[in-house]
């Protein structure tokens, strides 16, 4: 028997289940080229679909056992909007959009990383910058080498490729 007041909780679980089913259906109709010998374009969408289905099932089961929303604390007044943080997040998005074409993925994503870290309160710019460059170059290299997806070599990627004695991809 469903407890009174758990309808919204059950609706959320059902909605997430429907999203999972929709994702599963859409994934199943993705065309696959025969050039994919192992991991094709359906792998990650199937994982996301499975995650949505598991989450939806868990939410629905919790709703059927009494729900979770009745345990939430009283609604409190929201803190004031942090306009500086919001501005830094938007600046990170804008930096990525503006820089990715002329300077490449790694520099654009690194600028975004540093600005987002600052928006979340980081005050360690040198550490954030080093971490950003290492992670974005690693992501770029994995895309190019493991997945065979050329996302374009920018300034920084060109330096890395030259250091490795390889031709710069256009």
When pLDDT is cut at 50, 70 and 90, the band that residue 79 belongs to is: confident
Tell me the pLDDT of the chain averaged across its residues: 86
**Does one domain contain both 32 and 102?**
no
**Does one domain contain both 139 and 95?**
yes
18, 39, 71 — which closes off a domain? 71
**Number of structural domains, the chain?**
2
Residue 90 predicted with pLDDT over 80: yes
Structural domain including 138 reads 83-163
Residue 122: per-residue pLDDT: 93
**Does one domain contain both 152 and 104?**
yes
CA separation for the pair 41, 155 (Å, rounded): 29
Q: Which residue has the higher pLDDT, 101 or 115?
A: 115
Residue 157 predicted with pLDDT over 90: no
**Does one domain contain both 87 and 66?**
no
**Does one domain contain both 89 and 156?**
yes
**Does one domain contain both 49 and 94?**
no
The per-residue pLDDT for range 42-74, each reduced to its tens digit, is 888 999 999 999 999 999 998 888 777 666 545
Q: Which residue has the higher pLDDT, 117 or 75?
A: 117
Residue 99: per-residue pLDDT: 93
CA separation for the pair 66, 159 (Å, rounded): 58
Residue 142 within a domain: yes
**Does one domain contain both 65 and 89?**
no
Helix (H, G, I), strand (E, B) or coil at 20: helix
Q: Which residue has the higher pLDDT, 81 or 145?
A: 81
**Does one domain contain both 120 and 147?**
yes
Give the sign of the dihedral formed by CA 153, CA 154, CA 158, CA 161: negative
**Does one domain contain both 88 and 159?**
yes
The per-residue pLDDT for range 8-45, each reduced to its tens digit, is 888 999 999 999 999 999 999 888 777 766 667 788 89
**Does one domain contain both 67 and 89?**
no
CA separation for the pair 4, 66 (Å, rounded): 8
**Does one domain contain both 58 and 19?**
yes
**Does one domain contain both 101 and 140?**
yes
> Which pTM was predicted?
0.59
Match 């938007």 to its residue by tokens: 90
Residue 168 within a domain: no
How many Cα atoms sit within 13 Å of 70 on the Cβ side? 12
Residue 170 within a domain: no
Residue 34 within a domain: yes
Phi/psi at 5 (5° precision): 90, 0
**Any idea of the CA torsion for 118, 120, 123, 127, to the nearest 10 degrees?**
-80
Q: How many whole angstroms from its chain centre is CA 70?
A: 30
């Amino acid at each position: 028997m469903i407890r009174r007041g758990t309808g919204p909780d059950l609706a959320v679980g059902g909605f997430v289940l429907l999203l999972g089913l929709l994702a599963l259906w859409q994934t199943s109709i993705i065309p696959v080229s025969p050039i994919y010998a192992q991991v094709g374009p359906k792998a990650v969408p199937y994982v996301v679909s499975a995650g949505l289905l598991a989450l939806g099932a868990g939410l629905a089961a919790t709703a059927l056992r009494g729900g979770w929303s009745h345990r939430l604390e009283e609604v409190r007044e929201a803190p004031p909007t942090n306009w500086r943080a919001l501005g830094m997040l938007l600046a990170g998005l804008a930096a990525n959009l503006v820089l990715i074409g002329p300077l490449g993925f790694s520099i654009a994503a690194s600028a975004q990383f540093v600005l987002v870290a600052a928006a979340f309160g980081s005050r360690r710019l040198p550490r954030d910058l080093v971490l950003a460059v290492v992670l974005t170059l690693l992501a770029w290299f994995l895309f190019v080498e493991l997945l065979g997806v050329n996302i374009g070599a920018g300034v920084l990627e060109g330096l890395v490729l030259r250091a490795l004695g390889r031709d710069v991809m256009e």
